[in-house]
Chains A and B, each alone.
Chain A
Amino acid sequence: MRLSDGRSGAQILSFGGYQPAKVVTNDDLAATVETNDAWIRSRTGIVSRRIAGPDETVADMAVAAGGKALAASGLTPEDIDLVIVATCTPEAQIPNTAAPVARRLGICAPGAYDLNAACAGFCYALANASDAVRTGSARHVLVIGAEKLSQWVDWTDRSTCIIFADGAGAAVVGPVTEDTAPGIGPVVWGSDGDMADKIFVKDRNSFIFQEGQAVFRWATTALHPVAKQACERAGVDPADLAAFIPHQANLRIVEAIARKLGAPQAKVADDIVTAGNTSSASIPLALSRMIERGEIPSGAPALLIGFGAGICYAAQVIKVP
């Protein structure tokens, strides 16, 4: 048997992000549930979030973000041969999200699958994409994180409705050229099924439940070693990171992990302030906006870490496109 011809490394060629038009402020929420702006800001860092319209689907948002990343990559739809959509809020169980999204983007007959690692989904999908390029299973991969969490939120539950939001982010992954260094480092990933009851949706008629304090304790103690390990495996000193983009779960978690990581030069993503927690979309969405604003230079090393329900987590160092 022959094996496919692999590549020496993969890199991210571009990012793209999409946010729904509707802005929901803390004051908007305070009008319907017992909460207030100061409380939400101090506990989560969130000032406002975006919520999809009633007819706007996860696929619509995935197409919007994926289309932007594709356009920014300079490639054409024909160049893409694998589409991975990371989501824990798909419109339907059957069919998947990836195949119709690929079709709408004009990508002809790619491999297409959904991946559910909740808020860690983008980092898992990025690792899959990198491996696919390196082994020769795909040449160019479109990786999308897209979520419509608003339809799984109880809008009378003040512990969750202040946190979760909607959005999408995407990246195009391709091979490195002969004279460039790899752009996606080794993934460090894992899970802890003992904590499956800390964040869950019981059944299709239920809403998202989160044991906030337990998740906070876990996130602020278990993740900085994972982040450090991802740097170590990539051979990048945390002190040399230009950016740190953890999943935008809660600004307090983001700041605690950043402090314990010790990356003084790194611009730390705080996209949650105006985006809320968009699960698998949060990392590519934050990155696309940081790149748009010129906050992180092209070619610089950035550390990503996703974490969420499962519990699942994954981290890797990337080179900013």
Chain B
Amino acid sequence: MAMTEQEILAGLGEIIDEVAGVPADQVTPEKTFVDDLDIDSLSMVEIAVAAQDKFGVEIPDDQLKDLKTVQDVVDYVRRSAVSA
């Protein structure tokens, strides 16, 4: 069964908490990684790797650079999970 947006957001919150130490409740859809959450490009790679383990969706480096907000990642995971 496909994951809901809420499930993806919750999972992403857990990942970001573990990788970057940002509390999950601060991981809301409109937040940008760089400016709002202070997450750098290396942490983004770690988030992408953890997201692959959790959601089974691969986010290659060339796609990763276009994902600016939490919502962007949620959308990417949903799209990829649907097409997979």
Could you tell me which A residues sit within 8 Å of B by CB distance?
A: 42-43, 213-214, 216-217, 220-221, 252, 256
Q: Chain A's nearest CB lies how many Å from the CB of B41?
A: 6
**B14 on interface, CB distance cutoff 8 Å:** no
Partner among B42, B48, B49, B61 whose Cβ is within 8 Å of the Cβ of A43: B42
Q: Tell me the count of chain B residues lying within 8 A, CB to CB, of chain A.
A: 8
Residues of B within 8 A of A220 (CB): 45-46, 49
Q: Tell whether, in the assembled complex, residue B40 and residue A43 are in contact, meaning their CB atoms are under 8 Å apart.
A: yes
Q: 5 A-B residue contacts at CB 8 Å?
A: A42-B40, A213-B45, A216-B42, A217-B49, A252-B42
Residues of A within 8 A of B41 (CB): 213
Known interface pairs A213-B61, A214-B61; A221-B42 also in contact (CB < 8 Å): no
Q: Chain B's nearest CB lies how many Å from the CB of A301?
A: 28
Once bound together, how far apart are the Cα atoms of A213 and B48, in whole Å? 12
Q: Tell whether, in the assembled complex, residue B42 and residue A213 are in contact, meaning their CB atoms are under 8 Å apart.
A: yes
Known interface pairs A213-B61, A214-B61, A217-B61; A256-B46 also in contact (CB < 8 Å): yes
Question: Does more than half of chain B's interface fall in helix, strand or loop, or is it mixed?
Answer: helix
Residues of B within 8 A of A214 (CB): 61
Once bound together, how far apart are the Cα atoms of A16 and B48, in whole Å? 40
| Given pairs A213-B45, A217-B48, A256-B46, 7 additional interface contacts (CB within 8 A) | A42-B40, A213-B41, A213-B42, A216-B42, A216-B45, A220-B49, A252-B42
Once bound together, how far apart are the Cα atoms of A107 and B38, in whole Å? 55
Once bound together, how far apart are the Cα atoms of A95 and B41, in whole Å? 42
Residues of A within 8 A of B42 (CB): 43, 213, 216, 252
Q: Chain B's nearest CB lies how many Å from the CB of A119?
A: 18
Q: Chain A's nearest CB lies how many Å from the CB of B70?
A: 20
Residues of B within 8 A of A43 (CB): 40, 42
Within 8 A of A (CB), among B23-48: 40-42, 45-46, 48
Residues of B within 8 A of A252 (CB): 42
Q: Tell whether, in the assembled complex, residue A221 and residue B61 are in contact, meaning their CB atoms are under 8 Å apart.
A: no
Once bound together, how far apart are the Cα atoms of A220 and B19, in whole Å? 12
Once bound together, how far apart are the Cα atoms of A213 and B41, in whole Å? 8
Q: For residue A42, which residue of chain B has the nearest CB?
A: B40
Once bound together, how far apart are the Cα atoms of A216 and B49, in whole Å? 11
Q: Tell whether, in the assembled complex, residue A217 and residue B40 are in contact, meaning their CB atoms are under 8 Å apart.
A: no
**Chain A CB within 10 A, most for which of B40, B42, B48:** B42
Once bound together, how far apart are the Cα atoms of A220 and B65, in whole Å? 18
Residues of A within 8 A of B48 (CB): 217
Residues of A within 8 A of B45 (CB): 213, 216-217, 220
Residues of B within 8 A of A217 (CB): 45, 48-49, 61
Residues of A within 8 A of B61 (CB): 213-214, 217
Q: Chain B's nearest CB lies how many Å from the CB of A311?
A: 16
Once bound together, how far apart are the Cα atoms of A43 and B45, in whole Å? 12
